[in-house]
Structure 1
Amino acid sequence: MIRVADVSKSFVLHNQGGAVIPVMGGASLSVAPGECVALTGNSGAGKSTLMRMIYGNYLVNGGSIVVGGTDVARAAPREVLALRREVLGHVSQFLRVVPRVPTLEVVAEPVLAAGGTREAGLARARALLARLNIPEALWSLSPTTFSGGEQQRVNIARGFAHDFPALLLDEPTASLDAANREVVLALIGEAKARGAAIVGIFHDVGARERVCDREVDVSAFVPERAA
């Protein structure tokens, strides 16, 4: 479902004379339906960089990243947007939404974007918000007014609203209390059970051991001159 093959990435420092800094080379991994693979490695090894390349936020310098038949490394912007609507979900650490849009609408939006009905989207949003212990009194408010922990849970609800065939999870249990951590781990388990291919960054070792089938050490892909 997700296949990364011989991917390389460099950054150009335009404010430093155009210096080229290689940060990744020969990155390869595959994730089958129903499998969760954890990206590991020291801070700065490139875990987030690789995840951003899979999502299409960073361009690659070489190699291929195929998600559900689409090579993200070569796809046109409209193809990447279609992939994100229908195939590839992403739970980031930070909630970025349009101000003043009610939380219920924020969570329901991925269902509507994928072609679901408004009724189905709102029903799914209500179920997830309740499950993640967001008080119903807050559902009509913009999540931009919420606490950090509440925003994180809204972000998780939004990421799991549509049954994406592939998911990217960036620290999904960070800063959660024990009860909500269990809810998120259950959601990940359910996504695996329905066949989702998942790539995640988990500094929470206990969470990683519970939901991940194997680990890929991204440090192995750091070029020697960038190490």
Structure 2
Amino acid sequence: MIEVRNLSKSFTLHNQGSAEIPVMAGAKLSVRRGECVGLVGQSGAGKSTLMRMIYGNYLAAGGEILIGGTDVVTAAPRQVLALRRDTLGYVSQFLRVVPRVPTIEVVAEPLLRLGTDPEEARGRAAALLARLNIPERLWSLSPTTFSGGEQQRVNIARGFAHPYPALLLDEPTASLDAQNREVVLTLIEEAKARGAAILGIFHDEPARARVCDRLVDVTAFTPGRAA
């Protein structure tokens, strides 16, 4: 479902004479349906960079990123947007939303984009918010006013609202208490059981051991570093 082949990336330092800094070369990995693969490696090795390339936030210098047959590297912007809408979900570490939009609408939005009946979409959003212990009195408020842990749970609810066939998770259990951590790990296990291909960064080692089927050390793809 997720296939990365010979992927490379460099950054251009425009304020330093346009110097090119290679950050990744020869990256390769695959994630099958119903499998969770964890990215590991030293800090700065490129775990988040690789995730952002797969999601299409960073443009790769070369190689292929196949998501259900679509190559993100060469896809047109409209194809990337369609992939994000239908196929590829992403739970980042930080919630980025339009201010003043109610929390329940934030979580329901991926379903509404797909044309889901509004009542059904909000019902699904409400169920996830309740499961992640966000009090109902907060659902009509903007999550921009919430604590960091509450915002993370809203982000997770939004990411799991639609049953994406492929899912990227960037530190989904960071800053969560034991109760909510258990909810998130169960959501991941349920997604695997329905056949989702999941790629994640988990610094929480017990969580990683529980949900990941395999690990990929991205240090092997970092120029100038040994695995």
Shorter-chain TM-score: what band?
over 0.9
1:205 corresponds to which residue? 205
Partner Cα separation in structure 2 for residue 162 and residue 35 of structure 1: 18
Distance (Å, rounded) in 1 between the aligned partners of 2:223 and 2:204: 27
Asked if 1 retains the 8 angstrom alpha-carbon contact of 2:219 and 2:225, the reply is no
C-alpha displacement of 1:225: 7.6
Distance of 1:224 and 1:90 partners within structure 2: 29
CA distance in 2, matches of 1:184, 1:194: 16
RMSD (CA atoms)? 1.2
Look up the match of 2:43. Answer: 43
What are the within-5 Å matches in structure 2 for residues 29-178 of structure 1? Answer: 29-178=29-178
The TM-score with structure 2 as length reference comes to 0.98
Deviation of 1:115 after TM superposition, in Å, equals 2.6
Alpha-carbon deviation of 1:224? Answer: 2.2
Structure 1 position 68, deviation (Å): 1.1
**Equivalent position amino acid for 1:29 in 2:** L
Cα distance between partner residues in 2 of 1:203 and 1:194: 25
- Aligned AA (2:129): L
Secondary structure at the counterpart of residue 164 of structure 2: coil
Tell me whether 1:19 sits opposite 2:19 in the alignment. yes
* In structure 2, distance between residues paired with 1:69 and 1:203: 30
CA distance in 2, matches of 1:119, 1:2: 32
Give the letter for the 1:13 counterpart.
Answer: L
Corresponding residue number in structure 1 for 2:193: 193
The one-letter code sitting in structure 2 at the alignment partner of 1:195 is: G
Q: Is the 8 A contact 1:170 1:202 kept in 2?
A: yes
Amino acid at match of 1:80: V
Report percent identity of matched pairs. 78
Change (3 A) 1:130 1:164: same
Cα distance in 2, alignment partners of residues 179 and 225 from structure 1: 38
What secondary structure sits across from 1:224 in the alignment?
A: coil
Provide closer, same or farther for how the CA distance between residues 188 and 51 of structure 1 changes in structure 2, counting only shifts above 3 A: same
Q: C-alpha displacement at 1:226, in angstroms?
A: 10
On the 8 A contact 1:114/1:162 being kept in 2, the answer is no
Q: Which runs of 4+ in 1 moved over 3 A?
A: none
Letter in 2 for 1:132: L
Shift of 1:45: 0.2
Q: Distance in 2 between matches of 1:60 and 1:67?
A: 15
Task: Kindly indicate whether residue 222 of structure 2 is the aligned counterpart of residue 222 of structure 1.
Answer: yes
Asked whether the equivalents of residues 21 and 226 of structure 1 are also in contact (C-alpha less than 8 Å), the reply is no
CA-CA distance at 1:117 after TM superposition: 1.5
Shift of 1:52: 0.2
- Alpha-carbon deviation of 1:116? 1.5
